[in-house]
Structure 1
Amino acid sequence: MAVETSSATPSPIKTVVVLVQENRSFDHMLGWFKTINPEIGGVTGSESNPISTSDPNSTQITFKDTAGYVDPDPDHSFQAIYEQVSGKTWDTNNPDPNPEIKMNGFVQNAERTTPGLSETVMNGFKPEAVPVFKQLVTEFAVCDRWFASLPASTQPNRLYVHSATSHGAMSNNTQQLIEGFPQKTIFESLEENGYSFGIYYQSFPSTLFYRHLKYVDNFHQYDLSFKRHCKDGKLPNYVVIEPRYFDILTAAANDDHPSHDVSEGQKLVKEIYEALRSSPQWNEILFLVIYDEHGGFYDHVPTPTGVPSPDDIVGPEPYNFKFDRLGCRVPAIMVSPWIEPETVLHRPSGPDPTSEFEHSSIAATLKKIFNLKEFLTKRDAWAGSFDIVVNRSTPRTDCPEKLAEPVKMRDTDAKETAKLSDFQEELVQAAAALKGDPFNLVENMTVSSGLKYVEDAFKKFYDDGQKAKEINEVEDTVSADASTRRTTASKTFMQKVFSCLVCDR
C-alpha cells in the first residue's frame, strides 16, 4: 500500500520513538525487499558499477544478495561520497561543487581504498537475513526515499537528526567539540512548548555534542529504564534511543556500524518493539528506525540536489560545501498500530515541490504532531513530514506481540583491542570536553579503553550534576555550556558545573 497524501485529522500519536543506527545504505539493507513487495523501490539484480568510470570497456560489478558479516568499513568521507555518487574523484585544485549525479563510482572508490572491497560494497541482505526488518516492513511501513541530510559521515548527519543543521560541520571538528554545537534542538523546542523528552543511552549519548543539551534528568540508562518506563506507561513525548557504539566481549555493539554484527542491531530493534508493543502507551506510539548515513555501501537512487541550506553557513575549506545536496538513501522503517500492513512511503507531497524525506523530517514531523511554534531551520521547514504514514482511522489490534529471532552472523569475537573508529574518537573527545582532559588521549585508546573512558566521563557528569542540583535546589535542569567544556586547569569539573547551572525554569 503506497501513501502519498496527508490528512487534516489531529494525530493520535502522543509519543515518537527514534532509533538511529549506523552506516548502511537502503539498497544494502532493504534493496532486496522488493522481492517481497514490488511497491518498494529496491533492486532487481541488474544494478552495477564499473571498476573504472573513465573506461567505457571497464568490467562491471553487479549488485548481489549475499551480504552477511561486513569487515572492513567502507570509506564514507565527503571526498569518497563525492566519487561514489558522481564517478569523479574530488580535485582540490579544480573542484566541481555540483557534479552530475550518476551513482556509478562506488566500485571505483572501493577498489582504490581496498582491492576486493567492491564485492562488499555491491552487496545486500536477503530479507531472510534480517528477519526483524522483514517482519516490520511486512507488518508496518518502509520509506524508500529517505536520504542522509548531507553527503558526509556520522557526526554531521546525527546533528541534523535533532537540530536540522550541522552548523557547518562536515566531519569531526575538535574545536567545535570543545565548545559544543550551539544550534537550537528539537529537545528545547519540545520543552518550550510543554512536551517531554527522554534520551535512553547504552554507552555514551551522542546528543551531548549539542552545547545546550545537558538536561540531567532527561538522560536514562537504557538497560535500567527503558523497559520499565514502557511497562509503567511513562515514556515521554519524544524518545531517543542511542545504541551501543563500542563492541566488546561482554556487550556487543548493536549500532550496525561495520564491523559490528548486524544481528545485534536486529536484537535491539526486536527488544525495543516488543517493549513498546506491551506498553499501555502502544496505541499512541510511532516508532522510527533510520540510519545516519550510507557508510559507503551502494545505492542506486540519485542523491537530490538543489536543497535549501538550513542556515546559509558554508562548510570549511577546501570543500566550501553549501549544504545544498543530500546524502545517499538510507533505510527508514516506521511502526505504529495506526499503520496499515505493507505501507510504502515514497516521496512526500510537500511542503515544497522539491521536498524529500531526510533527517530533518524528524523535526518537521514533531512540529506538526505536537503543533510546535516554529521550525528550527530552513531545512526542516522544507523537509517532508512523515506523519502521513499514520493512515488508519482506528488502531490495529492484530500487531504481532513478538518478532522473529535474529541469526548471529559473526563467528569471531569482538575486536575490543582494535583502534577507535572515527565516530568512537568523536565520542571520546566529547567526553574529554566534559572532563577537561586533553583531546589527543584518543591516539592510544582501544575500543575497550575508549568505552570505559566515555562511561566514566558521563557517570561523573551525571553524578556531579545531580549533586549540583541538590546544592543549588534546582528542580530539573543542569546545563554545561561552552565554559564547562574548555580544557582548563583553573577549575575542577565540579566547580565548572556549579558555575553554569540553569535556574530559569
Structure 2
Amino acid sequence: MAILPQIKHVIVVMLENRSFDNICGWLYKPGTTPLPSQFLPPSSAKEYDGLKSPYFNPVNPLYFKGQSAKTVRVFDQAASTTDPDPDPQETFSNVTYQLFGPEAPSANATWPNLGFVVNYANHVNATSRNGHGDEDGPGPAPVKIMEPFSPAQLPVISALATNFAVSDRYFCSVPSQTWPNRSFVHAGTSNGNVNNGHIPNPFDWDVRNIFNVLQDLGMDWRVYSDTDVVPPLTRLMFPNLWTYGNGDHFHHFDTFKQDCASGNLAQYTFLEPSFLINPNDQHPPHDVVAGEKFLFDIWQAVSQSPAWFESLLIITYDEHGGTYDHVHPPFGAACPDAKSNPGKEGFTFDRFGVRVPTVLVSPWIQAGTVFRSPTAIPYDHTSLLATLRDWLAIPKDKMLTSARIAAAPTFEHVLTLQHARTDLPTIPLPATEVKPIDSSEEPNSIQKSLISAHAVQQGKDPAATVSNIQTRQDAIHFFKSNPPFTRPPTGD
C-alpha cells in the first residue's frame, strides 16, 4: 500500500557543505524557549541533540599523543556569515581525521569528532592564507571551524525548522565529498567512489538513477537549477541523463516559481542552487545569507501555490563540508552493491557520513516536530529514495537495486496530522545583504567538477580544461563560451 496519500508533489532542495551543528546546532538552545512540541518516534529521547557550550575540540596535535589539551569550545555564533574561510577539507581522508583523529576508524573511537580543529589548522597552515601554527597549536583562523550559526543569523531555515519538522539524526551517506553524496541521493550508490576525483569524469558515475526509474514508469519529474549559464550538476553527473535537452525535464528556477503559481508541479522535483555565478549554495565561504534568500523564495513559491496542501518540501545538504558536528556517525550502514565492496581506498561503505540538516515542510506536519528514524537504521540520503519508492508504489523489479535504499527508513511517520494546517507561519528574511564573491579566487572543488564534467560532455580534455582555468571568472567565461548542448552526445 502506498504511503503519504495526502501528498501529490515531493520537492527536494539540496544545499552544500554544512553540518547539522553548523546550521541547526543552536536551534533549540538549552535554557531557551520555545521547545519542540513532539519527538518522533514517541519512544525516542525527549531532548533535541543540538549544541551545548561544553563541547570542544583540541587545538594541539600533541593532544593525541597524551599531552594536556589546549581546547576551544563551540561558539555561540559565527563571526561572519561567510565563515569558515578558507574552505575546510572534505575528502575521505580528511573527514576520517576529523572523526577519528590519527587512529584508524572503529566503532569505539578514542577521539570521536575531536579532529576538526587540528585538521582545519593543517589545511590553513598549508594554504598560508590565515595564521600559522605548530605542534603546540594553530594560529587564530582554525577556531572558525567551531563557529556555528545562530538562529538569528539563519532566520529562514530556523523558522521553517521550528514551524514544521527537523531531524537531529539524519546523516549524509558517505563521510566525504559532494559527488559521492549526491550520487547516493539520486542513485543509492556512488559506484564505489569515495571522492569527487581529482578530475571528475561522469563516466565513473554512470549508474541507473531515480530519474531513469521515473521515466521508465511514465512518472513526471523535473530538475530546476538557479542558473542559465552553468549546466545542472544533476545532469552533468550522469551520462544517461545527457539525452534530455533543456526544457524536457531540466528547467531554470524561475520556471519553478511559475509552475508553483499555476499548480503545475511534477510528482518529483529536485532543486539546485547556483554553484558559481552569484552562488547561493552555502558552500564555504559563500555567504549563507544568499542561500537563506534562495530558501525564502522556495518557501514563498511552494506555500503560495494552489498545490501547497498536496506538497512535501524537503530541505537538506549533501555533506558537512568539514564543518564541526559533535555526533559521531554510526557504523552499520548497508553496503549498496558489489562495486562498493570494497570501493575506492578500500572503503566498504559500512559507516555513514556526518550529520547534515534536514527539514521537512508541509501543512500535514505539526509545528515544533523533531524526528528520527522509526527503525534501528538512521536516516541518510537514501531515505529520500525509499520514501519516493513507497509513496509512488514503485515495484521492486523497477526500483534501484541498492541495498542501502532497501534498508533505509522513510519519512512517512513525520506527517502526523489528520487534517492539513490552515495557518501559514511567517518566515522572516535575513536582515543583512549578501557579501560579494571575489571572482579572482581559485574555483572550489565543486566548481572544478562542473568544469571537468562539462568538458567531458563536450568531448574536450577535462584535465587540460581545468588546468587552464585559474579563477572563478575564468570558469564563468568557460561556461559562457561553451553553452550546454540542447541534445548532448552520449559519449562512448
TM-score using structure 1 length: 0.83
Q: Which residue in the other structure is 1:205 paired with?
A: 232
Contact 1:86 1:99 in 2 (8 A): no
Matched, 1:111 2:107: no
Q: Which amino acid aligns with 2:20?
A: F
CA distance in 2, matches of 1:16, 1:312: 30
Matched, 1:380 2:415: no
**Consecutive aligned runs of 4 or more in structure 1 exceeding 6 Å deviation:** 315-318
1:147-166 equivalent positions in 2, closer than 5 A? 147-166=171-190
1:200-239 equivalent positions in 2, closer than 5 A? 200-201=224-225, 202=227, 203-207=230-234, 208-214=236-242, 215-216=244-245, 217-223=248-254, 225-239=255-269
> Relative to 1, partners in 2 of residues 1:378 and 1:132: Cα closer, same or farther, differing over 3 Å?
same
Matched, 1:72 2:86: yes
Q: 3-state SS of the aligned residue for 1:286?
A: strand
CA distance in 1, matches of 2:279, 2:97: 30
1:28-54, Cα deviation, whole Å (9 max, x unpaired): 110001224364210111111112333
The Cα of 1:233 is off from its aligned counterpart by 1.2
Q: Which amino acid aligns with 2:444?
A: S
- Out of 288, 304, 310, the position equivalent to 2:336 is 310
Q: 3-state SS of the aligned residue for 1:109?
A: helix
CA distance in 1, matches of 2:199, 2:293: 36
The Cα of 1:219 is off from its aligned counterpart by 0.5
Contact 1:30 1:331 in 2 (8 A): yes
TM-score using structure 2 length: 0.85
Q: Which residue in the other structure is 1:245 paired with?
A: 275
Contact 1:142 1:334 in 2 (8 A): yes
Moved more, 7-16 or 235-244: 7-16
1:220-279, Cα deviation, whole Å (9 max, x unpaired): 0113x11111111111111111100014xxxx2100001100000000000001001111
Q: Which residue in the other structure is 1:362 paired with?
A: 384
CA distance in 2, matches of 1:456, 1:19: 28
1:11-69, Cα deviation, whole Å (9 max, x unpaired): 21111111111111001110001224364210111111112333341111101122132
> Relative to 1, partners in 2 of residues 1:315 and 1:80: Cα closer, same or farther, differing over 3 Å?
farther
The Cα of 1:180 is off from its aligned counterpart by 5.4
Moved more, 265-274 or 295-304: 295-304
- Out of 452, 467, 482, the position equivalent to 2:491 is 482
Q: Which amino acid aligns with 1:44?
A: K
CA distance in 1, matches of 2:233, 2:2: 35
Structure 1: unaligned runs, 5 residues or longer: 1-6, 90-95, 466-478, 484-505
Percent identity of the aligned residues?
A: 34
CA distance in 2, matches of 1:385, 1:456: 43
Q: Which residue in the other structure is 1:403 paired with?
A: 427
Q: 3-state SS of the aligned residue for 2:312?
A: strand
Contact 2:2 2:391 in 1 (8 A): no
CA distance in 2, matches of 1:41, 1:100: 20
CA distance in 1, matches of 2:210, 2:252: 21
Contact 1:246 1:448 in 2 (8 A): no
> Relative to 1, partners in 2 of residues 1:147 and 1:453: Cα closer, same or farther, differing over 3 Å?
same
The Cα of 1:318 is off from its aligned counterpart by 7.3
Matched, 1:191 2:215: yes
Contact 1:293 1:330 in 2 (8 A): yes
Contact 1:22 1:292 in 2 (8 A): yes
Q: Which residue in the other structure is 2:306 paired with?
A: 280
Contact 1:86 1:100 in 2 (8 A): no
> Relative to 1, partners in 2 of residues 1:181 and 1:42: Cα closer, same or farther, differing over 3 Å?
same
> Relative to 1, partners in 2 of residues 1:147 and 1:455: Cα closer, same or farther, differing over 3 Å?
farther
> Relative to 1, partners in 2 of residues 1:265 and 1:280: Cα closer, same or farther, differing over 3 Å?
same
CA distance in 1, matches of 2:334, 2:343: 20
Q: 3-state SS of the aligned residue for 2:52?
A: coil
Matched, 1:418 2:427: no
CA distance in 2, matches of 1:8, 1:366: 10
Contact 1:417 1:448 in 2 (8 A): yes
CA distance in 2, matches of 1:212, 1:173: 20
Q: Which residue in the other structure is 1:61 paired with?
A: 72
> Relative to 1, partners in 2 of residues 1:313 and 1:390: Cα closer, same or farther, differing over 3 Å?
same
CA distance in 2, matches of 1:188, 1:317: 24
The Cα of 1:444 is off from its aligned counterpart by 2.9
Q: Which residue in the other structure is 2:132 paired with?
A: none
The Cα of 1:455 is off from its aligned counterpart by 5.2
CA distance in 2, matches of 1:429, 1:98: 35
> Relative to 1, partners in 2 of residues 1:19 and 1:210: Cα closer, same or farther, differing over 3 Å?
same
Q: Which residue in the other structure is 2:159 paired with?
A: 135
> Relative to 1, partners in 2 of residues 1:117 and 1:226: Cα closer, same or farther, differing over 3 Å?
same
CA distance in 1, matches of 2:326, 2:296: 28
Q: Which amino acid aligns with 2:155?
A: P
Q: Which amino acid aligns with 2:152?
A: E
Contact 1:254 1:264 in 2 (8 A): yes
CA distance in 2, matches of 1:387, 1:317: 32
Moved more, 128-137 or 261-270: 128-137
> Relative to 1, partners in 2 of residues 1:308 and 1:232: Cα closer, same or farther, differing over 3 Å?
same
Q: Which residue in the other structure is 2:363 paired with?
A: 337
> Relative to 1, partners in 2 of residues 1:213 and 1:9: Cα closer, same or farther, differing over 3 Å?
closer
Q: Which residue in the other structure is 1:12 paired with?
A: 6
Q: Which amino acid aligns with 1:84?
A: Q
Moved more, 364-373 or 50-59: 50-59
- Out of 314, 319, 339, the position equivalent to 2:345 is 319
Contact 2:11 2:269 in 1 (8 A): yes
Structure 2: unaligned runs, 5 residues or longer: 37-46, 125-137
Q: Which amino acid aligns with 2:265?
A: L
Q: 3-state SS of the aligned residue for 1:432?
A: helix
CA distance in 1, matches of 2:477, 2:262: 31
> Relative to 1, partners in 2 of residues 1:441 and 1:45: Cα closer, same or farther, differing over 3 Å?
same
> Relative to 1, partners in 2 of residues 1:192 and 1:383: Cα closer, same or farther, differing over 3 Å?
same
Contact 2:313 2:362 in 1 (8 A): yes
Q: How many residues of Structure 1 are paired with residues of Structure 2 in the alignment?
A: 444
> Relative to 1, partners in 2 of residues 1:127 and 1:460: Cα closer, same or farther, differing over 3 Å?
closer
Q: Which amino acid aligns with 1:398?
A: D
The Cα of 1:191 is off from its aligned counterpart by 2.1
Q: Which amino acid aligns with 1:394?
A: H
Q: Which amino acid aligns with 2:232?
A: P
Q: Which residue in the other structure is 1:42 paired with?
A: 50
